[in-house]
C-alpha cells in the first residue's frame, strides 16, 4: 500500500465516520513529514507525523515529549501513536513560527519567553534519561565540516598542514564543550522550531535531544542560522539568560566572561556542524534551500575564531579555503 494511502487508512480508523482533509503542514531535513488534519465539522485541527519506520524511529520523540511536558513547557500533545507504521497524531500548535514574526518590536518578549522555557527544561534535567552528548558524537558532528563543506561544497582537499590545524582546533573546542555542565539539550532550539502559541512558545522537532553542554541551546537560539541580530542586542539577551539561570540555581559560571566564552566556543562547534549539514543536504539530498543561510553561519564562526587566540588558526584556514574581506569581530578576548 502506498505510504499516503496507509496514512489515510490509519486516520480513518482514528476518526471513524468523520470527514476530514489532509494538507502539508511542514517538512524537516529528515524523512519525517507533517500533515494538518482539518475537519468538515469545524473540530480543532490535528497534526499527523509520518515517520517511515525504515528511516525514522518515533520512540525517542515520544520519550522527549514526556520529559519536556514534565518540565512544564508547551509541546504537542499525543492523541494516538502507531510505532509499527510510524504515525503519531498530535495537537496542532499552529503555523506561526518565531522566524515568521520576529522583528525589532517583539523580539525581546518572544525571546524572553523562549529563555524562560529553556531554563525550565534545564532545571528538569536528570542524567540517564537522554543519550549523552559525548566526545564521539561531538567529534562526529565536527567531521561533517571537512567531509561535506570543504570536500563536497568547496571541492577542496586539505593538506596535511591544514588537517593538523583543523584537528588541533577541534580538540580545543571539544575540551571546552565537554568541560561544561550537562543539561537536557534540545539540539535545534531556534526560530523555526519555536511556535507562537498560548502558552508561548510551542516547542517542536525535539526528537534528537541529548544530555550535554549547558550553552548549546542558548547559542542555537541567539546565533540562529536563519536570523541574525546585532551583537550588542545578542549580548543583552545572553546576559538576561545568565541572570535567570543563576537565579534558578543552574550550574553556569559565576563570571559572565567565562560563561560567554563557553557560549561562543559551543557555538563554533555547532556552526561547523551546521555548515557540514547544510552542504550534505544540498549535495547528497538535493535540498539546496539551505545554501542561502550558509554565509550567516560562516559569519558567526569567523567572528568567534578571530576573537580568541586559540581559534585564530582556524580563522586563517577559513581564509585559505575561502578568501574574505576583513571580519568585524567587535569584542575581543
| Per-domain boundaries in the chain | 21-91, 98-321
**Residues in the chain with pLDDT < 70?**
27-30, 325-333
Q: What class has domain 21-91?
A: alpha beta
Find the DSSP H helices in 80-128: 98-101, 107-123
Residue 178: how many other CB atoms lie within 10 Å: 15
171-216 pLDDT per residue, tens? 999 999 999 999 999 999 999 999 999 999 999 999 999 999 999 9
CA atoms of 80 and 83, how far apart (whole Å): 10
Q: Is 333 exposed, middle or buried (0-12, 13-18, 19+ CB in 10 A)?
A: exposed
Contacts of 255 by beta carbon, 8 Å cutoff, 6+ apart: none
Structure confidence at residue 32 (pLDDT): 85
CA atoms of 113 and 260, how far apart (whole Å): 21
CA atoms of 287 and 285, how far apart (whole Å): 6
Q: Is domain 98-321 classified as CATH 3.10.150.10? A: no
Amino acid at each position: 500500500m502506498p505510504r499516503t494511502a496507509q496514512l489515510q487508512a490509519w486516520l480513518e480508523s482514528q476518526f471513524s465516520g468523520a470527514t476530514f482533509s489532509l494538507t502539508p503542514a511542514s517538512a524537516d531535513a529528515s524523512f519525517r513529514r507533517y500533515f494538518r488534519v482539518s475537519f468538515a465539522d469545524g473540530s480543532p485541527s490535528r497534526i499527523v507525523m509520518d515517520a517511515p519506520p525504515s528511516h525514522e524511529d518515533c520512540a525517542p520523540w515520544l520519550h522527549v515529549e514526556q520529559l519536556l511536558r514534565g518540565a512544564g513547557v508547551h509541546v504537542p500533545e499525543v492523541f494516538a501513536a502507531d510505532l509499527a507504521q510510524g504515525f503519531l497524531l498530535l495537537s496542532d500548535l499552529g503555523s506561526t513560527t518565531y522566524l515568521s514574526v520576529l522583528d525589532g518590536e517583539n523580539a525581546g518578549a518572544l525571546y524572553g519567553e523562549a529563555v524562560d522555557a529553556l531554563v525550565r527544561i534545564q532545571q528538569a534535567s536528570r542524567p540517564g534519561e537522554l543519550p549523552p552528548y559525548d566526545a564521539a558524537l561531538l567529534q562526529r558532528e565536527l567531521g561533517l565540516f571537512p567531509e561535506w563543506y570543504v570536500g563536497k561544497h568547496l571541492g577542496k582537499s586539505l593538506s596535511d598542514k591544514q588537517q593538523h590545524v583543523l584537528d588541533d582546533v577541534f580538540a580545543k573546542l571539544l575540551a571546552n564543550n565537554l568541560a561544561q555542565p550537562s543539561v537536557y539539550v534540545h539540539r535545534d532550539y531556534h526560530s523555526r522550531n519555536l511556535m507562537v502559541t498560548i502558552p508561548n512558545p510551542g516547542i517542536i522537532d525535539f526528537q534528537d535531544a541529548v544530555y550535554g553542554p549547558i550553552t548549546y541551546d542558548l547559542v542555537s537560539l541567539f546565533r540562529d542560522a536563519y536570523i541574525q541580530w546585532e551583537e550588542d542586542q545578542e549580548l543583552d539577551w545572553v546576559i538576561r539568560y545568565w541572570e535567570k539561570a543563576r537565579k534558578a540555581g543552574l550550574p553556569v559560571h559565576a563570571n559572565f566572561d567565562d560563561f560567554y566564552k563557553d557560549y561562543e566556543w559551543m557555538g563554533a562547534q555547532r556552526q561547523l556542524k551546521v555548515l557540514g549539514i547544510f552542504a550534505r543536504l544540498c549535495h547528497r539530498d538535493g535540498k539546496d534551500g539551505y545554501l542561502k543561510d550558509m554565509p550567516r553561519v560562516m559569519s558567526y564562526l569567523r567572528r568567534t575564531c578571530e576573537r580568541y587566540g586559540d581559534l585564530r588558526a582556524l580563522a586563517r584556514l577559513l581564509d585559505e579555503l575561502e578568501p574574505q574581506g576583513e571580519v568585524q569581530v567587535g569584542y575581543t578576548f
